[in-house]
Amino acid sequence: MVRAALLPALGAPLELTEIELPEPGPGRVRVKLAAAGVCHSDLSMTTGVLRAATPVVLGHEGAGTVVSVGEGLSTVRPGDRVVLNWAPACGHCHLCGLGEPWLCENQYAASVETYASLADGTELYPGLGVAAFAEETVVSERALIPLPEGVPLTSAALLGCAVLTGYGAVHNAAKVRAGESVVVYGLGGVGLAVLQSARIAGASPIIAVDVTPEKEELARRHGATDFLVADEQTAKAVRKLTGGHGADHAFECVGRGSTIRAAWSATRRGGRTTVVGIGGKEDMVSFSALEVFHFARTLTACVYGNSDPVRDLPVLAEHVRAGRLDLESLITDRITLDEIPAAFERMAAGRGGRSLVIF
**164, 334 contact by CB (below 8 A):** no
Assign 349 a pLDDT band (cuts: 50, 70, 90): confident
How high is the pLDDT of residue 260?
A: 97
| Domain contains 321 | no
Shared domain for 123 and 171, answered yes or no, is no
In a domain, 319, yes or no: no
Q: Can you tell me the mean pLDDT for 280-307?
A: 95
Residue 244 burial (CB count, 10 A): 9
The residue-averaged pLDDT of 117-131 equals 95
Same domain for 9 and 141?
yes
CA proximity to 273, closest of 300, 291, 295, 246: 300
* Bridge partners of residue 356, in order along the sequence: 37, 334
CATH code (residue 168): 3.40.50.720
Predicted confidence at residue 29, as pLDDT, reads: 97
Please tell me whether residues 26 and 96 are part of one structural domain: yes
pLDDT band for 121, please (50, 70, 90 cuts): very high
Which pLDDT belongs to residue 203? 98
Assess contact for 306 and 102: CB atoms under 8 A: yes
* Residue 8 located in a structural domain: yes
The number of domains in the chain is 2
- Per the CB < 8 A criterion, the answer to whether 158 and 327 are in contact is yes
**Lowest-confidence segment of 101-105, 163-167, 280-284, 299-303 by average pLDDT:** 280-284
pLDDT surpasses 80 at 104? yes
11 vs 22, more confident: 22
Q: Are 187 and 219 in contact (CB under 8 A)?
A: yes
Answer yes or no: do 47 and 144 share one domain.
yes
Q: Residue 327: pLDDT above 80?
A: yes
CATH number at residue 53: 3.90.180.10
**317 within a domain of the structure (yes/no):** no
Q: Are residues 115 and 7 in the same domain?
A: yes
Q: What one-letter code names the amino acid at 285?
A: V
Closest of 337, 358, 336, 332 to residue 347, by C-alpha:
332
Count CB atoms within 10 A of the CB of residue 23.
10
Asked whether residue 312 is assigned to any structural domain, the reply reads no
- What value, to the nearest 5°, has the Cα angle with vertex 111 and ends 107 and 117? 150
Flag whether pLDDT at 352 surpasses 80: no
Mean pLDDT for the stretch of residues 277-287? 91
187 in a domain, yes or no?
Answer: yes
Query: What pLDDT score was predicted for residue 152?
Result: 94
What is the residue range of 340's domain? 2-160+326-358
> Region 261-269: what's the mean pLDDT?
98
The verdict on 69 and 93 lying in the same domain is: yes
User: Average pLDDT of 248-273?
Assistant: 97
Does residue 289 share a domain with residue 223?
yes
> Angle between the 340-348 and 40-47 helix axes, to the nearest 10 degrees?
90
Q: Are residues 114 and 208 in the same domain?
A: no
Q: Are 117 and 30 within one domain? A: yes
Query: Residues of 183-218 as b/e, b for ≥16 C-beta within 10 angstroms?
Result: bbbbbbbbbbbbbbbbbbbebebbbbbbeeeebbeb
Which of 28-32, 74-78, 137-141, 254-258 has the least mean pLDDT?
Answer: 74-78
pLDDT digits 0-9 by tens, 146-182: 999 999 999 999 999 999 999 999 999 999 999 999 9
Q: Give tens-digit pLDDT for 36-63.
A: 999 988 988 888 888 889 999 999 999 9
Give tens-digit pLDDT for 210-219. Answer: 999 999 999 9
Contact 194, 305 (CB under 8 A): no
The predicted pLDDT at position 277 comes to 93
Q: Supply the pLDDT for residue 123.
A: 97
Q: What percent of the chain has pLDDT over 70?
A: 100
Clarify whether residues 137 and 199 are in a common domain.
Answer: no
Q: Residue 241 domain-assigned?
A: yes
Let me know: does 276 contact 252? Beta carbons within 8 Å.
yes
Q: What is the structure's pLDDT at 48? A: 81
Specify whether 172 is located in the same domain as 298: yes
Contact of 309 with 85, CB cutoff 8 Å: yes
334 domain-assigned = yes
- Angstrom distance (rounded) from CA 195 to CA 152: 21
Is the pLDDT at 353 greater than 80? The verdict is no
At residue 131, φ and ψ (nearest 5 deg) are 55, 65
Same-domain pairing of 282 and 179: yes
C-alpha distances out from residue 168 to 162, 197, 201, 208, Å? 10, 8, 11, 18
CA 247 – CA 203 distance, rounded (Å): 11
